[in-house]
Every structure is written in structure tokens, then in C-alpha cells.
Amino acid sequence: MSLHLGVNIDHVATLRQARYRTMHGAHNVEPSILKAALEAEAAGAHSITIHLRADRRHIVDDDVYLLRREIGTMMNLEMGNTPEIIGIALEVKPHFVCMVPENREEVTTEGGLDVVGQKASLHASVSQLEANGTRVSMFIDPDLDQVRASAEIGASMIELHTGTFANELGEKRQAEALRLKAAAELGQSLGLQINAGHGLTTKNLPELFIVPHLAELNIGHSIVARSVFVGLRKAIQEMLEAMKGYPA
């Protein structure tokens, strides 16, 4: 199976919120989060990723319900492990949920979830969501203990945090790629689907390709940034083309 691409459109919502944070019902609100999702689908995206944060800084509740109703491909809902958001996920029933850490001071998600330290609460949430028909992923650093804990709580998938890999160069990036490789190998042996994301670009992807068993990459910022110059569809197609280099 070829490597799949989940397109994160949070930053499209960020642009909308810059002006229309309190005016979602206005006739002239733009850019449309739905149009962005449909454009991503038309470009060949395999899933649409959105993050419903506790502070609703970009994606808001209406976006979640609208996209779940209107898009034709898979929805991947990133979320913190809080009762409010869990309740929304149980109602909306996205195809996938990715549990992530949240820090109100961060601009975007930085670092992986501490599954080891939150096993009891995460296990309860995973059980609810999986029983409700949603496959659950843990967004974790490439730490073997975190991989094992993710399997132990019943998650179907892990998404390996590639931010450190993306931010390093040379030998340090190579060392992080080896950590990712080891985590992927362990996860696959434990029956987990292996996804990856954060900071990935068409330029650094080739160095990630030593990591085996990857099923899907979730990429947002690089694609939306590139779309400013070439359009969203073209930016996604460029990323898909770069992903063809991943060994089957």
C-alpha cells in the first residue's frame, strides 16, 4: 500500500479567525474551511485532519460537524484528552482521533503525549472511542516506552512526532531518524499502525524514508505555506509527488 497523506487544514482556519473570530455567520467569512477540505480531497488527500483545541483558537465546533457531514474522505480529529472534547468526538464519530498534548502557551503542538504518565485516563478514553467506531492514535515522541504504553491502552495507531527530526540538521537529524525507525519497528511488532507528522516538508521527507512501516503522514503548515504561492491543490500534489519516493 502506498504512503497516505492526511492534510491538516488548521492554518486555513487560523487565517479565517484572524478577522472573523466572532463573525462565523456573516456572508463574507473567508477562507472557507469546507472549500479547503474539498480542494484537498480533489488534490488526492487521503484524509482531512483538524485539531479542535480547548480554546478554539482556529477550528471551532461548527467546523467539526460541517466537515464530518460534507467531506467524502476520512476525518482525523486531533484532540486533547478532556471530557468536553471526548463528548464531541463520541457524537461526531470521526474515522480517526489522534490524542495530543495541549499547552495554551504553544503556537502549535510541540512534543508528544505522555502516554506512560496518563495510562489510566487515556485507556478509558480510548476504550470509549474505539467502542464507538473511531480508531484512536497516540501522538508520541519516538520513545520506546511510549510506544509500548500506547499498545497497552488499546490504541490502534501511533503518530510519531517528527518535529525534532525536522528541526535538526546533519548528524543530529540522522540520529533522530534512527530513533523514529526504532519506534516504528517496535510499534509495528505490537500491531500498531504507524503514522508520522510535524514539521515535514518536501525537502526533508527523503531523510525520513529510512523509517519503515509508515502508513500515513499528517502535514499541514508546509502545505498551507506553500499554497500561498502556488495554490492549495498544487501544494498538496507536490507533497504527494515527494511521498512517492517512500519504499513500498
Active-site residues: which are they? Answer: 51, 78, 198
- The helix/strand/coil state of 50 is strand
Start-to-end CA span in the chain (Å): 7
Please state, as a whole number, how many other Cβ atoms lie within 10 Å of the Cβ of residue 87.
11
Which residues does 56 contact at the CB level (< 8 Å), separation at least 6? none
HEC assignment per residue over 112-158: CCCCHHHHHHHHHHHHHHHHCCCEEEEEECCCHHHHHHHHHCCCCEE
CA neighbor of 157 nearest in space, from 115, 199, 120, 124: 115
The burial class, CB within 10 Å (0-12 / 13-18 / 19+), for 130 is: middle
Q: What is the distance between the alpha carbons of residues 153 and 16, in angstroms, rounded to a whole number?
A: 37
